Amino acid sequence: MRTGKDISSRIPLAPVLLAVGIAAGSMLSASSAYALSELQKIPGQPDAPATAQQSPQQPTAPQTGSPGIPQPDPLVNKDSGQSVDKTPGASDDSKPVEVIYDISKAPEPVRKMREQIVEAAASGDLERLRPLMGTGADQTQVTVGEPTDDPIGTLKDLSGDPDGDEILAIMLDVISTGFVHVGQGTPEEMYVWPYFAEKDLKSLTPPERVELLRIVTAGDLSDMQEFGGYNFYRVGIAPDGKWKFFTAGD
């Protein structure tokens, strides 16, 4: 009987070695080809297939200022010349705002109405404002939008306390500031407190910021500057002495 040893001794050695060498060479060639396919992202590789990835030879878009990619618009357009919340009869924003502190420069009916508002608010009795507010179409506006049948009740609801003391304090603070005369020569002509309603809040002087901070908090001021304008309470009185509004705009 022939054994495995006998069979192996009969196989010529040279052809075996040659076959082993050819097989090893084939494996090495396949491995090299695979490796080259993995190096297709190396710069200068001539036969690299196109992929979804960006080739290093292609110019990359600059981080900023690219003409092909529009930059996002700012939340507040500083150059638009438009106020986010306009007081009725407001003047052109491109013109400087004249702030008035001397109440004697206002017409006598305006001075009288302002004095009556101050006296009523200082009394702590919200009902004392009712006779000053008129009725019907001439009723003082206390909300933005639809008019209310009961302005005093609305003001009490807006106050942080059940008696309306907070809203009276706000009214006193607002009407104690400087004011502006807007809408001259138009049906919307009136005198408006505080003057911040017509002022660029980012251009306030230090004394003006202190004056505004008597009405609002520092956080409120920061929000208003980001928002683009004053959006707290304001008082408007027409030249004939009618109390037009006491509203907060946003």
Question: Which domain CATH number covers 212?
Answer: 3.10.450
Q: What is the residue range of 29's domain? A: 4-38
Determine how β-strand 190-193 pairs with β-strand 233-237: antiparallel
Q: Does 20 lie in the same domain as 110?
A: no
Q: Does 22 lie in the same domain as 112?
A: no
Residues 215 and 167: beta-carbon distance below 8 Å? no
Q: Does 29 lie in the same domain as 117?
A: no
Please report the pLDDT score of residue 167 as a whole number: 97
Give the CA distances from residue 109 to residues 65, 75, 83, 126, 197, in Å, rounded to whole numbers and listed in that order.
Answer: 57, 41, 29, 22, 22
Instruction: Give yes or no for residue 81 having a pLDDT over 80.
Output: no
Q: Does 218 lie in the same domain as 113?
A: yes
In angstroms, the CA 30 to CA 28 distance is 6
Please report the pLDDT score of residue 70 as a whole number: 37
116 HSE (CA, 13 A, CB side): 17
Residue with the two structure tokens 């013109």: 95
Which of 3-7, 21-25, 128-132, 164-168 comes out lowest in average pLDDT? Answer: 3-7
Tally of CB atoms within 10 A around 219 = 8
Assessment of whether the complete model's pTM goes beyond 0.85:
no
- Structural domains of the chain, count: 2
More confident residue, 228 or 40: 228
Q: Does 237 lie in the same domain as 126?
A: yes
Instruction: Give yes or no for residue 27 having a pLDDT over 80.
Output: no
Give the CA distances from residue 184 to residues 14, 24, 82, 152, 158, in Å, rounded to whole numbers and listed in that order.
Answer: 114, 99, 19, 30, 31
In angstroms, the CA 131 to CA 133 distance is 6
Averaged pLDDT for residues 192-210: 94
Q: Does 135 lie in the same domain as 34?
A: no
Tell me what percent of the residues of the chain surpass a pLDDT of 90: 54
From 53, 34, 49, 246, select the one nearest 134 (Cα to Cα): 246
The answer to the question of residue 181 being in a domain is yes
Q: Does 131 lie in the same domain as 32?
A: no
More confident residue, 76 or 61: 61
The answer to the question of residue 58 being in a domain is no
Q: Does 138 lie in the same domain as 28?
A: no
